[in-house]
Every structure is written in structure tokens, then in C-alpha cells.
Amino acid sequence: MALQIRIVVPSGTAEKVVEIARNHPGVSEIALTKGASLVPAGDVIVLQAVRESVEDLLGKLHTLHVSHEGSLSISSPELVISDRLDAADQEVSGDGADAIIWDEVEKDTNADSKLTWNYLVFLVIAVQLAGIGIVTDSTIAIVGAMVVGPEFGPLAGLALAVVDRRWKLARRATVALVVGFPIAMALTAIVTLASIWLGLFSPAEVLSENRSTEFIYHPGPYSFIVAVLAGAAGMLSLISKKSAALVGVFISVTTVPAAGYVAVALVLGEQGRAAGSALQLFLNVAGIVVSASVVLFVYRMARRRRPAPTRYSAAHAAASARNVGSRSPFRR
């Protein structure tokens, strides 16, 4: 699997980048265009490398503060036919399908952990669908809620924050969860009350005849086991870029229906079932975060060291801060 890396840096740094690329296994092509970048002023370098070698290559490039002095972008060509690339693939161990690029993981996790209007709307819709599925005893509506649920982003952010001890990310992800879920549940409760007032369903018959959703308010060993499996599958999907849509459904099996059941049960005066669903939600969130953290930790331990410095690492941020100012080659 080939990746194309485009780098914009000052001319002085470009020579160091080319030297690193020449000596790095897995790099099959190096193209340098001097003076091609106008803003910022500098050279443009395009590398082609096999995916399994890119993580270590990025670590070396980050020591040059490439992202501070210019930029670095990675794309994946649809098709590359090259004997040189095939030879480069033989130089490095592992398989591209299993290779992890931690910059990519951190970027995706940071983006998905924020409390945004988009995240909030999707979560509200998901919990509303779960509430409809509960009052109508419809597994189809609940599955629809699972498809829409966006909550794995903040859960993955918490897992990454635990492993990396990045407390700013932890706070951002926690805010997305502790603000998003209560708002979605409150709106679901309001809609449930409005539905009763409009005579859309009979409160006396809803939960007593509800059989297909009993698992939601009955926490048990398998509830936590499912949450652990969901967290592991979700993190594996995130770091390997595989089956993201289906894993999103898997994650929501353990969270969104429980949130919807809490809202509906409280409106209908079923405090016991509401408490059971709330406990289910808490256990599931905890299980997902714990198992996702374990997956990240194991992947990093398998490398027998911390991954190469990333753009988001504290060390690189500090180094970038020291380079801000008159020492920047783009300042005049």
C-alpha cells in the first residue's frame, strides 16, 4: 500500500528532508522542486513510500519541525504500478494493512472528540430514534438509532487521552459526553411527554408489553462484555481504517438505546427501569473506554517503545514554541 507525502519547507530544511528520505527504508521515490512554494517561500518535496514505513519516517521529519516551518500532507493514490515500490515494500517488515500512523489517529480523534453542533444533532436524532423504538417496541428504529449515533468519537478521545495522558483532550471528550447525552435525553423526554399529550401511545401499555428491548435496562455480565468488545473493535477500526460504519453501529448497541430508555422510563414513572438503563449506560461507556485504551496500549507496547514523535505530542509542541518568532525562516 503506497502513500504519497507532500512536504513544503524552506530551502535549507529541504536538503535535510531529502537526506532523511534517501536513507529511510520503504521510500521508493523522491521528487524535489526548488522554489515551487510561494507562500510560504520554499521548496516542495514529494515522496512515495509504503505505508508500513511512514510512521517512522514522520517521526524523523517531525524532529525538523516541518509542520511549524511549512506543511506536510499525506494522500493515498488509487493505483501505483512500480517495481521500485515493490522493492521498497520488501525492505520493511510488516504489512501495510496493519500499519498505524499515529498522526492520523490523533488527528481523527481530536476532530471527533469536540462538542459541535453536528455531533449534538446526530446524538439527539439517535436518542430520539431509540426512544421511538422503545415506545413502539421496534427493533428497526433502535437499529436506526445505532447507525446515527456519533458517540464513539469522544469515547476514543478519552481512550487516547488516558494512554497519552493528554488531559486537554480528556476534558474536551468528557464535555462532549456529559453535555451531549443529557441534552439528547432531555429532548427525548420532552418529545415523549408531547407524544402522550397528543395521544400517540398509551403509557400504561408501553413498557409492560415491551419485550424486544428488555436487555437495555437489565445490566449483566454480558452487557459489560459487549461493551468491552465494542470498544476494542471501535479502536481497531479507528487505527486501521477498516469497517468504520459497521463498528459505529456496534458501539451504539451499548450506549444510545440505554440513553433513550432512561428518558422514556423517567417520563412514564418507571424509576427502576430508568436506573437500570442509567447503570447500563455507565457500565457500557466505562467498558468501551477501558478496552479501547487497552488496545492502544498493547499496540504501542508491541513496538516496544513509544511511537515516533507526532505533531500533537507535548515534546513537539514545546519545540515548536521555542522556534516561534524571529528564528522562523518565513519571517522577514
**Distance separating alpha carbons of residues 117 and 93, to the nearest angstrom:** 43
**Tens digit of pLDDT for each residue in 242-282?**
655 445 545 556 688 889 989 998 998 888 888 988 988 89
What pLDDT shows up at residue 242?
A: 60
Q: Which residue type occupies 195?
A: S
CA distances from 190 to 68, 91, 183, 196, 258 (A): 49, 61, 11, 10, 17
| pLDDT score for 272 | 85
Does domain 2-99+307-323 fall under CATH 1.20.1560.10? My reply is: no
The predicted pLDDT at position 253 comes to 64
Q: Is the pLDDT of residue 321 over 80?
A: no
Please report, as a single letter, which amino acid is at residue 82: S
For the chain, the average pLDDT equals 81
pLDDT band at 319 (very low <50, low <70, confident <90, very high): very low
Residue partners of 279: CB distance under 8 A and separation at least 6: 219
What pLDDT is stored for residue 209 in this prediction? 59
Grid cell in block for residue 295:
488496545
Average pLDDT of span 139-160 = 85
Supply the pLDDT for residue 304.
Answer: 46
pLDDT computed for residue 313 by the predictor: 57
Share of the chain above pLDDT 90, in %: 28
pTM score of the predicted model: 0.76
Q: Residue 28 corresponds to which cell in the numbers above?
A: 521508493
pLDDT digits (tens, 9 = 90+) for 205-238: 666 656 656 666 666 777 788 888 888 888 887 7
Q: pLDDT tens digits for 292-313?
A: 899 888 887 775 444 455 555 5
Closest CA to 218 of 259, 263, 274, 268: 274
pLDDT of residue 198: 84
Nearest to residue 53, comparing CAs of 91, 15, 81, 82?
91
Q: Tell me if 124 sits within 8 A of 183, measured CB to CB.
A: yes
Q: What are the boundaries of each domain within the chain?
A: 2-99+307-323, 105-302
DSSP 8-state class, residue 211? -
Q: Which residue has the higher pLDDT, 318 or 263?
A: 263
- Strands 27-37, 42-50: parallel, antiparallel or unpaired by DSSP? antiparallel
Q: Please spell the DSSP secondary structure of 121-184, one letter per residue.
A: HHHHHHHHHHHHHHHHT-HHHHHHHHHH--THHHHHHHHHHHHHT-HHHHHHHHHHHHHHHHHH
